[in-house]
């Protein structure tokens, strides 16, 4: 087994039930995120400034879900930053996109703050039935979409990020993860991975972060 990851002693395998996460999503690639035009920083800004976090409550964990993988770590994927929800996002057969869309390019944070959010179950149901293909196309075109995503029941290899500013420690953890899986016994499933952030009111810049990688 690969032993070149610094957090090996804390790494563990964990099984988790299915869940739905509601938040802000966009389509991207690791190659794009390595350059100046990455969408992830804007996605975090949207999540915190649009009020989605306030709907969840300060005590809820924040999830950054990697889903709809085109192929593997080298292909496109959808990232949804949000919080766990129950009971209002359809039948659990896939991703349901239920919110308004704002094109990210050329749009100020002030305008992003004014995105209207669905607040009642009836509206969510109507928008669920609108279908995911159109929203997926808008994501491909560079839009930030407020939506839900379904994560199936899975086994995960869990990697704790090191303490520190998460903007620095999470990318470092991903570098270790990619290196680990080059020679690992475990095989990635690409059925849905996520980062789990537990923010502390006394020190919000230093949340406890664990990264869950789905395995076969």
- Bridge partners of 214, per DSSP, are 156
pLDDT value at 15 more than 90 = yes
N- to C-terminal Cα distance for the chain? 16
pLDDT digits (tens, 9 = 90+) for 153-176: 999 999 999 999 999 999 999 999
| Residues across the chain | 216
Domains along the chain? 8-215 (3.20.80.10)
Does residue 187 carry a pLDDT above 70? yes
Q: Binning pLDDT at 50, 70 and 90, where does residue 151 land?
A: very high
Q: How confident is the model at residue 99, as a pLDDT?
A: 40
Which of 48-57, 85-94, 95-104, 199-208 has the least mean pLDDT? 95-104
Confidence of residue 141 (pLDDT cuts 50, 70, 90): low
Q: What is the pLDDT of residues 110-129, one digit of tens each?
A: 333 333 343 333 444 444 44
| pLDDT-derived band at 54, boundaries 50, 70, 90 | confident
SS (H, E, C) the chain: CCCCCCCHHHCEEEEECCEEEEEEEEEECHHHHCCCCCCHHHHHHHHHHCCHHHHHCCCCCEEEEEECCCCCCCCCEEEEEEEEECCCCCCCCCCCCCCCEEECCCCCHHHHHCCCCCCCHHHHHHHHCCCCHHHHHHHHCCEEEEEEEEECCEEEEEEECCCCCHHHHHHHHHHHHHHHCCCCCCCECCCCEEEEEECCCCCCCCCEEEEEEEEC
- pLDDT for residue 203: 79
- Rounded distance between C-alpha atoms, residue 192 and residue 54, angstroms: 25
In this prediction, residue 19 carries a pLDDT of 96
């Amino acid at each position: 087994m690969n032993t070149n990851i610094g957090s090996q002693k804390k790494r563990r395998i964990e099984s988790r039930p299915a869940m739905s996460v509601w938040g802000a999503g966009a389509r991207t690639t690791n190659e794009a995120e390595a350059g100046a035009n990455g969408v992830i920083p804007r996605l975090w800004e949207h999540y915190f400034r649009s009020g989605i976090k306030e709907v969840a409550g300060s005590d809820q964990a924040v999830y950054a879900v990697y889903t709809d993988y085109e192929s593997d770590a080298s292909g496109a994927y959808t990232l949804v930053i949000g919080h766990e929800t129950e009971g209002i996002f359809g039948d659990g057969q896939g991703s349901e996109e239920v919110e308004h869309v704002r094109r990210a390019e050329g749009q100020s944070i002030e305008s992003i703050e004014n995105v209207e959010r669905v607040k009642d179950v009836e509206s969510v149901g109507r928008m669920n039935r609108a279908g995911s293909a159109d929203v997926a196309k808008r994501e491909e075109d560079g839009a930030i979409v407020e939506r839900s995503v379904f994560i199936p029941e899975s086994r995960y290899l869990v990697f704790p990020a090191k303490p520190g500013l998460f903007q620095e420690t999470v990318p470092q953890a991903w570098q270790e993860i990619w290196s680990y899986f080059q020679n690992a016994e475990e095989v990635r499933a690409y059925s849905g991975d996520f980062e789990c952030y537990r923010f502390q009111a006394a020190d919000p810049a230093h949340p406890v972060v664990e990264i869950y990688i789905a395995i076969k």
